Amino acid sequence: MKLRDYQRKLVEEITAEGSGSVLCIAPTGAGKTVIMADLARSEPSTIVVCPWRTLVDQTVAALRSHGVECSPLMAGRDGGDGVKVASLETAARRDLPRFARVLLDECHRADTPARIALVDQLRAPGGQVVGMTGTAWNERGPLSGYDSIVIGPSPAELIDRGLLRRPRYTSGGAADMFARIGPAAQAVIYCDSVAESRALAASNPQIAHIAGSTPGAERLRLMEAFRAGEIRAFSNCAVLTEGFDASIDGVALRPGGMNLRLFVQAVGRGIRPGAGDCWVSDPGGLVRLYGCPTRLPWPLWSPFTGADRPRELVACRECREIITNLNDHACEVTPAEPQIRRVALECGLGSEWEARAWHDFAGLPWEAGRERVRLEIEASGAGPAEIAARLRRVGL
């Protein structure tokens, strides 16, 4: 198994830390499983700890696919050679031996004093605990308690290198997202409730429902069917935000909203390596509230609040795409003048004005459009020098 340059660098940095605890932050799709596989291969006395039992079989299958000999620690299925894989629940119940290396997957799920103590008990004297996450905070704040931290490249860097897909957003619902990705593409739908998810799957044979209570073996079977193209979409309620590593073309976010961590994790399902861009249905306006997950300050230590939130984005009123990158937007219904669109974001004028700008003066003569922009900036309270600077910045 050949690691990418940044994966090799992270493995080397983790190994160089020696004993103690290391927090490894790498974005969704960066290959944390590949990194764990390489770390496990170099240390036979390793246990991988998953946040839930339902992820144990999936983790075992993933590690084996990368050439790691491993076996699960679960009721009725103990035994086997090589690296051990267990859930936090199993690790808490069992009297397990100590290991030279403890790999804690989705470690933001184990950031309570009791769980931290439990994981530390699994480490042999002189051993190492490695926490892996793409979102280094949870409801209690930024993760803490690690001796050192290693940080991988940002999502934006990996997108620029062509290693992750670019997300594009629409304010329309799941049906709009499916229309954009095409009939053969696959997606994940996040519902506001388990009942809604179950009902959605019952109404469409191409959609399968996954819940937290779905047995590990059944979950693994559904994942294999999804990868084989037998299932077009999964519906769930905040379950497939972690531990789901299939390549998909679309993500439908919950209309009722999500917190920033779940939002980042959900969009992260879609930016995993694949062909073309990933379309994200965002009827709840999360990208307007939080900003683009792939462009937020890296690493993500905590949710944004108040003045830290990005400037509000707006949706094209004709095609409903939420404009996060002007170069990506090509509305076939009402083409807009690129310079005017750029003014909308870079001048920081209100979203109501931005929506008018794209469509109301796309057809204005250039000088008339420039004068209207100047008047709008002046009305915002800017002085002559600031008006001139802002007009120059956008090429007007």
Q: Is 267 in contact with 251 (CB distance < 8 Å)?
A: yes
Listed as ranges, residues in the chain with pLDDT below 70 are 1, 79, 139, 300-321, 323-370, 372-373, 391-396
Domains of the chain: 5-152 (3.40.50.300), 159-324 (3.40.50.300), 339-393 (no CATH)
Q: What pLDDT was estimated at residue 304?
A: 45
What is residue 308's predicted lDDT score, i.e. its pLDDT? 41
68-106 residue pLDDT tens: 999 998 877 776 778 999 998 888 888 899 999 999 999
Helix runs in the chain, H state only? 5-16, 32-42, 56-65, 88-93, 113-122, 155-160, 174-181, 194-203, 216-227, 260-270, 286-290, 338-346, 351-360, 366-379, 384-393
Beta bridge mates, 168: 279
pLDDT 10s digits, 170-226? 888 899 999 999 888 999 999 989 999 999 999 999 999 999 888 878 988 998 999
pLDDT at 367: 61
Question: Could you tell me if 303 and 259 are in contact, meaning their C-beta atoms sit under 8 angstroms apart?
Answer: yes
Cβ distance 277 to 303 under 8 Å? no
pLDDT of residue 392: 66
Q: Which two tokens stand for residue 32?
A: 């944390």
Phi, psi at residue 104, to the nearest 5°?
A: -105, 100
Residues whose CB falls within 8 Å of the CB of residue 159, separated by 6 or more in sequence, listed in order? 165, 166, 271, 294
Q: Estimate the share of the chain in helix, then strand, then coil, as percent rounded to the nearest 5.
A: 40, 15, 40
pLDDT given at position 12: 96
Q: Are 143 and 137 in contact (CB under 8 A)?
A: yes
pTM as predicted: 0.76
CA atoms within 13 A on the CB side of 326: 14
Q: Is residue 42 within 8 Å of 101, Cβ to Cβ? A: no
Q: What pLDDT is stored for residue 319 in this prediction?
A: 67
Burial (Cβ within 10 Å: 0-12, 13-18, ≥19) of residue 152: buried
